[in-house]
Structure 1
Amino acid sequence: MGNDVKQAQDYFRNGLYCSQAVLMTFCERYGLDKDTAFKISCGLNSGARCADICGAASGAILVIGLKHGGSKEICNAKTEEFLRSFKDKTSGILCRDILGCDISTEEGRDKAKREGLFGTVCVSAVAGAAKALDELGY
């Protein structure tokens, strides 16, 4: 396991949100301090709180923006490349598809907690996002 993957997983296991764990693993190499990364990625967890795009993927897309944000074309192409790689490593792009439940609902959150999905599936998604970024040269 690469250092970035381990670091992202450690951040997540120690209480950071998925989006924060991924962004904070990579942010300093692109000139963003960890405190700011922590703050700007906070609301992206749990699929932006509506079980939509996975927070780990959103955190990674912020990393891509840090590196390629000066060019819409490059940033968009790199984001698409990342999402293909991420989808290959998980069971989708949307939080609800990856988890198999909609955590924007009380029922879905209860299921995720009861089945330990945050500690298994989400840890794997965080690892998948970090690994995809590593493989793509971030």
Structure 2
Amino acid sequence: MEREELELIAKEKGEKAEMLFRSGYGCAQAVLLAFKDETGLDEGTLIRLGAPFGGGIGRMRQVCGAALGAFMLAGLLKSEGNRAEDYARVRDIAERYAAENGSIICAELLKGVEVTKGSVPEERSEGYYKRRPCPKLCFSAAQIAALTLL
């Protein structure tokens, strides 16, 4: 695949992930669902797979769910059972994501954003989307996944 074509596909995947997040999916789910056709998995399976990872893994503000979606895609699309290669691939994605966004840690990415504590997700509203970088982070994770995995 030529670089221009790959960059166009990566932008489309990013836009799709951002749109999916804005439509109510969690960050990991949005990134996974943007690659539904490539994974060969059905929508319901991808939704269930990504469900626990939003909010930095169950809203604990650990590793960003969007980044985790990209990491899961690395396994789904590229793993052949060689852990050294799998780990190197995930580290590459993580380094690119951190370079673009400043971190892979949800709490650091949301620094300065008022968030509620606990396991209950915040209600999605226009204000929610305006004060959070999450839609952009879903775009970024999906774009990086496309550039490194397709």
TM bucket, shorter chain:
0.7 to 0.9
Contact 1:28-1:34 within 8 A present in 2 as well: no
RMSD of equivalent CA atoms: 2.5
Matched residue type, 2:75: G
1:38 maps to which residue?
47
Contact 2:62-2:105 within 8 A present in 1 as well: yes
Greater RCO structure (CA 8 Å; 6+ sep): 2
Q: Secondary structure at the match of 1:136?
A: helix
Matched residue type, 1:95: C
Unpaired runs of at least 5, structure 1: none
1:134 maps to which residue?
146
- The C-alpha deviation readout for 1:113-138, integer Å capped at 9, x for no partner, is 8x746764001111110111122143
Contact 1:54-1:93 within 8 A present in 2 as well: yes
In the TM superposition, residue 103 of structure 1 has moved relative to its aligned partner by: 4.4
TM-score normalised according to structure 2 size: 0.78
The CA distance in 2 between the partners of 1:30 and 1:9, in whole Å, is: 18
Which protein is richer in helix relative to its size?
A: 1
Which of 131, 134, 137 matches 1:125?
137
Q: Secondary structure at the match of 2:55?
A: helix
Q: Secondary structure at the match of 2:25?
A: coil
Contact 1:18-1:126 within 8 A present in 2 as well: yes
TM-score normalised according to structure 1 size: 0.85
In the TM superposition, residue 105 of structure 1 has moved relative to its aligned partner by: 2.2
The CA distance in 1 between the partners of 2:129 and 2:62, in whole Å, is: 16
**Count of paired positions:** 134
Unpaired runs of at least 5, structure 2: 1-7
Matched, 1:14 2:29: no
Contact 1:20-1:41 within 8 A present in 2 as well: yes
Distance 1:102 1:116, change over 3 A: closer
